[in-house]
Amino acid sequence: MISISIVEDNEQFRKALETIIASQQDMVLVDSYPDAEKAVEGIRMSAPDIVITDLSLPGMQGFELMFKLRTASVNTQFLVCTIHDDDEAVFEALKSGASGYIVK
């Protein structure tokens, strides 16, 4: 089973992602967070396999989130799911430790 956490401030999209994950046999949704700060705490505790995160988040940017969790030695993979489709954002996300990148 792949444990997944979601960090997404847009409710519609978060709900859509939760629905997709819940419908998958081999995936389990550990938790979903509307903001980054709560997400850092929760993910450190739960340490899911994959974190799907947005880049634009209230309080903290997705890049920072990834950076904080990696420095806290949380062994998890990051999948960036964002509306930003420019090369710069993709490159920056990958540099920050993202393993994948999905444009909304």
The single residue among 17, 30, 43, 93 that binds another protein, judged by CB under 8 A, is 17
Classify 40 in phi/psi space as left (phi over 0), alpha (psi -120 to 50) or beta.
Answer: alpha
Q: Is 16 in the site for another protein (CB under 8 A)?
A: yes
Residue among 40, 43, 88 nearest 65 (CA): 40
Q: Is 104 in the site for another protein (CB under 8 A)?
A: yes
Of 41 and 104, CB closest to another protein: 104
Q: Is 19 in the site for another protein (CB under 8 A)?
A: yes
The residues near 52 (Cβ < 8 Å, ≥ 6 apart) are 4, 5, 6, 7, 8, 17, 79, 81
φ, ψ of residue 53 to 5 degrees: the values are: -130, 150
| CA–CA distance, 76 with 48 (Å, rounded to integer) | 6
Considering only 2-10, 35-43, 44-52, 70-78, which stretch makes contact with another protein by CB under 8 A? Answer: 2-10
Of 14 and 76, CB closest to another protein: 14
Q: Which x/- pattern over 24-63 shows residues binding another protein (rule: CB under 8 A)? A: ------------------------------x-x-------
